């Protein structure tokens, strides 16, 4: 088993029937799991509560709860075999195949309706008396509760469903760190969710998985705390050949702004049923990391797959290998704020002298993210006195967050160094760069850089 912290890339694992077990989740944690995802398209709140309970016992890692947002799903009671060329009568009432949202008036003959990430493709040949007549173009089994896509249509699906609203309240009660908004269309969707969260403290991950989200990426980036490139639905809504370049562009923009970016969907999909991935899947994971992803995500692989622990072990191995070749690609552009400018200086210092570690004292996590975007070789230790911020920083590439109630008064650098040495996170022989905000109450104003050999710093402390 590989040791935790030997990789810098973070791994999210979706928890489901094959992994909802404390023994298995502990093994996944040891293998490199950095966060747990709850997919609210499946299960109920009792199951979600159990996932959170086990997670809190496994380690100080964050929980991500999907908010389904403006999505459409199948609502058939039993699986339906869709045969090539046959016509299926679907609708929004008592038909065998029904949908969670009534889009009857928003589509026209000739529109394609894709089910389960495009596994089943149908074409609307006519609509009549509230019913849809769909000709099957790519056959398969239509399972219940599968995602539905209608490419090139901007539907008026409500931003948040009743279950979403219940999930938001649940997330507050259970101190969930992240809410991931599916099918984010624009900044208004993020603002609306932020308003519902209120002062709960949750961070928002905007999932980019349709053409509206891609078109409005810039405004979404301004409002969201993190972005997920959700390639499953994205590859259904947008031409396949365009998805890789969209992925690279979104990651680049997130890196530039120091926003957490997650690459997700079908990363090791063959491992749902097989103990090893394909070579193409290994390359896909590695390239997502080389593109600049902070985090990579496992979905069906760990929720319903046969090999949840092996999937995490494999992703950790791939990450460690890819990180050997990773270099930062952030442009050194103009002034935005003090913390960002300090992070640029730290990047230059770290590349020009033999530093062992970088320690940032951060209230919000912002400075840690600004430093991490440069993909430095040195470990970044983010010291914060906020438990939620500590767990949210678990998703940032190369950052080891530490909760310390450090003293603001006096020499905060020495105080932090003493505690970190006690925790065996730094050693006396280490050369460490420290950064913090001193004598300022403003946000994003880490205005101090100090470089010390720890033996000298703590030795000087003892003499005074």
- CA dihedral for 452, 433, 449, 60, sign (positive or negative): negative
Q: Which residue has the tokens 């809504």?
A: 237
Among 229, 209, 227, smallest CA distance to 219 is for: 227
Q: How far is residue 118's CA from residue 147's CA, in Å, rounded to a whole number?
A: 9
Element (H, E) at 283: helix 279-291
Active site residue 55: no
Active site residue 83: no
At residue 81, the 3 state secondary structure works out as strand
Q: Which residue has the tokens 């997670």?
A: 55
Instruction: Report CA 54 to chain centroid distance, whole Å.
Output: 20
Q: How far is residue 141's CA from residue 193's CA, in Å, rounded to a whole number?
A: 34
CA dihedral 75, 80, 85, 91 (to 10 degrees): -30
Task: List the catalytic residue out of 40, 74, 122, 265.
Answer: 265
Task: List the catalytic residue out of 56, 73, 135, 317.
Answer: 73
Task: List the catalytic residue out of 7, 8, 37, 414.
Answer: 37
Among 302, 425, 420, 436, smallest CA distance to 362 is for: 436
For residue 355, what are its two tokens?
């530093």
Q: How far is residue 168's CA from residue 183's CA, in Å, rounded to a whole number?
A: 17
Element (H, E) at 130: none
Dihedrals phi, psi of 373, to nearest 5 degrees: -65, -20
Q: Would you list the DSSP string of 321-342?
A: HHHTT--------S---HHHHH
Dihedrals phi, psi of 452, to nearest 5 degrees: -140, 150
Strand runs labelled E in 15-146: 35-38, 63-67, 72-73, 80-82, 87-91, 97-98, 112-115, 120-128, 131-138, 140-142
Q: How far is residue 121's CA from residue 138's CA, in Å, rounded to a whole number?
A: 5
Q: Would you list the DSSP string of 140-161?
A: EEE-TT-EEE-TT------SS-
Active site residue 265: yes
Among 236, 177, 224, 183, smallest CA distance to 202 is for: 177
Residues 25 and 52: beta-carbon distance below 8 Å: no
Task: List the catalytic residue out of 10, 27, 127, 207.
Answer: 207
Give catalytic residues, as residue numbers: 37, 73, 207, 265
């Amino acid at each position: 088993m590989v040791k935790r912290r030997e990789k810098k890339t973070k791994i999210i694992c979706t928890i489901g029937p094959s992994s909802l077990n404390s023994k298995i989740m502990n093994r996944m944690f040891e293998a490199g799991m950095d966060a747990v995802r709850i997919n609210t398209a499946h299960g109920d709140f009792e199951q979600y509560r159990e996932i959170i309970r086990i997670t809190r016992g496994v380690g100080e890692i964050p929980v991500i709860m999907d908010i389904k947002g403006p999505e459409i799903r199948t609502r058939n009671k039993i699986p339906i075999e869709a045969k090539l060329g046959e016509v299926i009568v679907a609708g929004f009432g008592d038909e065998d195949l029904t949908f969670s949202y009534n889009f009857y008036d928003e589509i026209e003959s000739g529109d394609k309706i894709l089910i389960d990430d495009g596994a089943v493709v149908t074409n609307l040949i006519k609509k009549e008396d509230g019913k849809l007549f769909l000709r099957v173009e790519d056959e398969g089994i239509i399972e219940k509760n599968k995602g539905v896509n209608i490419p090139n249509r901007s539907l008026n699906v409500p931003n948040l469903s009743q279950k979403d609203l219940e999930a938001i309240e649940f997330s507050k009660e259970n101190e969930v760190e992240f809410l991931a908004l599916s099918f984010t269309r624009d900044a208004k969707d993020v603002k609306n969710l932020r308003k519902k969260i209120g002062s709960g403290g949750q961070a928002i991950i905007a999932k980019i998985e349709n053409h509206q989200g891609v078109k409005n990426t810039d405004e979404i980036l301004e409002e969201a705390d993190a972005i997920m490139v959700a390639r499953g639905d994205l590859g259904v809504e947008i031409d396949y050949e365009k998805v890789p370049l969209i992925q690279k562009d979104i990651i680049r923009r997130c890196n530039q702004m120091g926003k957490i970016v997650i690459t997700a969907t079908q990363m090791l999909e063959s491992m749902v049923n097989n103990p090893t991935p394909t070579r193409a899947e290994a390359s896909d994971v590695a390239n997502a990391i080389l593109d600049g992803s902070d985090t990579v995500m496992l979905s069906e692989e760990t929720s319903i797959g046969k090999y949840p622990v092996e999937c995490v072990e494999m992703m950790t191995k791939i990450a460690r290998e890819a990180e050997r070749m990773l270099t930062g690609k952030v442009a050194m552009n103009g002034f935005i704020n003090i913390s960002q400018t300090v992070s640029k200086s730290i990047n230059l210092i770290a590349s020009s002298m033999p530093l062992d570690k970088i320690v940032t004292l951060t209230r919000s996590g912002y400075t840690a993210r600004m430093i991490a975007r440069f993909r430095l070789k040195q470990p970044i230790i983010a010291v914060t006195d906020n438990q939620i911020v500590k767990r949210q920083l678990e998703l940032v590439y190369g950052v080891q967050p530490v909760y310390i109630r450090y003293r603001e008064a006096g020499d905060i650098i020495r105080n932090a160094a003493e505690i970190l040495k006690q925790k065996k996170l730094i050693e006396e022989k280490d050369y460490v760069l420290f950064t913090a905000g001193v004598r300022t109450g403003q946000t994003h104003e880490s205005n101090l850089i100090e470089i010390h050999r720890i033996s000298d710093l703590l030795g000087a402390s003892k003499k005074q």
